Amino acid sequence: MRFVVFSKRSVIAVAVAVAVMAGIVAAACVSASVRAVASNGMTIVIDPGHGGADGGVVGTDTGKKEADVNLGISLSLRHFLREAGYTVVMTRDSDVDLASPGESFKQSDMRRRKEIIEQAQPDLVVSVHQNYYPLRSVSGAQVFYFEGAETSADYAERMQNVLNAALGCDRAAKSADYYILGCTPYPGVLVECGFMSNAREESLLVTPEYQRKVAYAVYSGIVALLEWDSSVARSARFPYGAPAAAFGEPVTFSGHGGVTQP
């Protein structure tokens, strides 16, 4: 996506994690791989933005397509959600667009995404994108919601707090009139995971390790939104470290989801 204007405001950082020993992380991964995961009854639609003929923005230095970064993050996010018992529906899971031949490309592509969301009847829609801005110093993940959608606004603000803590950002959630957020009655957020125009952030976003880090941060936000007050044991939902509603220094995620102090 291009040229998003945003304002900075003070946001209370939500600490996102308790350090987890490497052995415990490994055990959790092995356990997840050999057991059937019980469904938690909730459905998430992940929408990797762009794809196919629509590559989205292009990295200033690497020339990498936004669509590929979106997909990498989304596939890792799907993995984390499935491990936690969510039903996950993807609008795409490869480098394709959803447009129908002979029809207006963008309208057809977006209409098909809308149909997928409607069929899934999800608890939450998460659209994954990367940002771009002429001023190369601008960086940071930012969450958007459809203007006037109260539930989505609440989700976006809370998700933003999680990303600020996990990724070291200082952004505020904002309203926007993006079609994907307003085309159905289901709550949704659009996550701009970083800026492909910022040299440092671009160099991170194109790596599988950082894509997994971002995916786990978004996953943590989703669970915090939908399950934080439920009867589900929180530790079971966070095999690589649980978000904690505490104040303090932000923590950083390692490449495979484990957490370490900065």
pTM over 0.85: no
Q: Model confidence over 49-92: pLDDT tens digits?
A: 999 999 999 999 999 999 999 999 999 999 999 999 999 999 99
What DSSP state is assigned to residue 12?
Answer: P
Count of CB atoms situated within 10 Å of the CB of 108: 15
Residue 81 lies in a domain: yes
- As for how many domains the chain has, the answer is 1
Q: String of b and e for 220-242 (b: at least 16 CB within 10 Å)?
A: bbbbbbbbeeeeeeeeebbbbbb
Average pLDDT over residues 210-221: 96
Q: Is residue 159 part of a domain?
A: yes
Is 244 contained in some domain? no
The two three-digit tokens of residue 184, written as one number: 């159905």
As a whole number of angstroms, the distance between CA 159 and CA 156 comes to 5
Lowest mean pLDDT among 57-71, 79-93, 144-158, 228-242: 228-242
172 in a domain, yes or no?
yes
Amino acid 156 reads: A
Is the pLDDT confidence value at 29 over 70?
Answer: no
Do the domain assignments include residue 140?
A: yes
Length of the chain: 262
Domain limits at 181? 39-239
Bridge-based pairing of strands 188-195 and 142-146 is antiparallel
For residue 1, being part of any structural domain is answered with no
Question: Between the CA of residue 244 and those of 110, 235, 238, what are the distances in Å?
Answer: 36, 11, 11
Question: Domain containing 115 — which CATH number?
Answer: 3.40.630.40
Q: Per the domain annotation, does 194 fall within a domain?
A: yes
Would 25 be classed as within a structural domain? no
Is pLDDT at 158 greater than 70 in this prediction?
A: yes
Strand partners, 252: 260
